[in-house]
Amino acid sequence: WRMHAQLDDVAWFREIPTCKVRGPDGYLYEPVWINPADAERLGVKTGDIIKVYNERGTVLAGAYVTNRVMPGVVSIDHGARADIISIDPLIDRGGAINLISPKEEGKTAALMVVSGFLVAVEKANLEELREKHPEAFEKPYDLNVGLYYDTYVEHNK
C-alpha cells in the first residue's frame, strides 16, 4: 500500500491492523510477522517491540504473531521511513529493513537481492535504548502519522 517510503505517513492506513504496530511508547513501529511457535519460544506477543538484526545492523519492529509465516521465518515489508537511533552501531526505529539487507547485486541484474536474508530476532528493551540514546526518543512525533518532516531533514539556519 505504499511505494518505498512514500505514503508511509498516510493517516487512514493506520486503520489497517497490519499497517503499523503501536508500541508501549506510542510510536508506530513497522510490523514484523512472526510464527506463534517462534513467538512463544522468544516470549514475544503481538504488540511487543523486537529487534531484527544481523551483522549490518538492527531494525526495531512491532511483533505481529500469525500463522501466515512458517516457523523459523519472519517477514517485514520494505519501504518504511528510516528513523535512525544510532549510526555506530546502526539501529533504526522506523523499520527500514533495507538498511540491513544485503548490498550485493544479483547475478543477472544490477539490483539488490532482497527477497530474503538471514536475521536474528529478540525482544527489544526500549528503556535501555532510551537511556542510551535519549535524543532519538525526544524527536517531535505525531501519534497518528509518525515523524515530523523536521526530524529527518536538516535546515540551514
Q: Is residue 6 part of a domain?
A: no
What average pLDDT does range 72-97 have in this prediction? 92
Q: Is residue 4 part of a domain?
A: no
Predicted confidence at residue 8, as pLDDT, reads 72
Predicted confidence at residue 109, as pLDDT, reads 66
Q: Is the pLDDT assigned to residue 155 strictly greater than 60?
A: no
Domain containing residue 69: CATH number: 2.40.40.20
Q: Is residue 152 part of a domain?
A: no
Q: Is residue 143 part of a domain?
A: yes
**What share of the chain in percent tops pLDDT 90?**
59
* pTM of this prediction exceeds 0.75: yes
DSSP of 24-67? TTS-EEPEEEE-HHHHHHHT--TT-EEEEEETTEEEEEEEEE-T
Q: What is the pLDDT of residues 86-135, one digit of tens each?
A: 999 999 999 999 899 887 776 776 666 667 889 999 999 999 999 999 99
Q: By residue range, what is the domain housing residue 68?
A: 11-147
What average pLDDT does range 39-52 have in this prediction? 98
Structural domain count of the chain? 1
What average pLDDT does range 65-88 have in this prediction? 93
Cβ-proximal residues to 14 (8 Å cutoff; 6+ apart), any chain: 20, 28, 144, 145
What average pLDDT does range 22-51 have in this prediction? 96
**pLDDT confidence tier of residue 145, bands split at 50, 70 and 90:** confident
**What share of the chain in percent tops pLDDT 70?**
86
Q: Is residue 121 part of a domain?
A: yes
Q: Is residue 157 part of a domain?
A: no
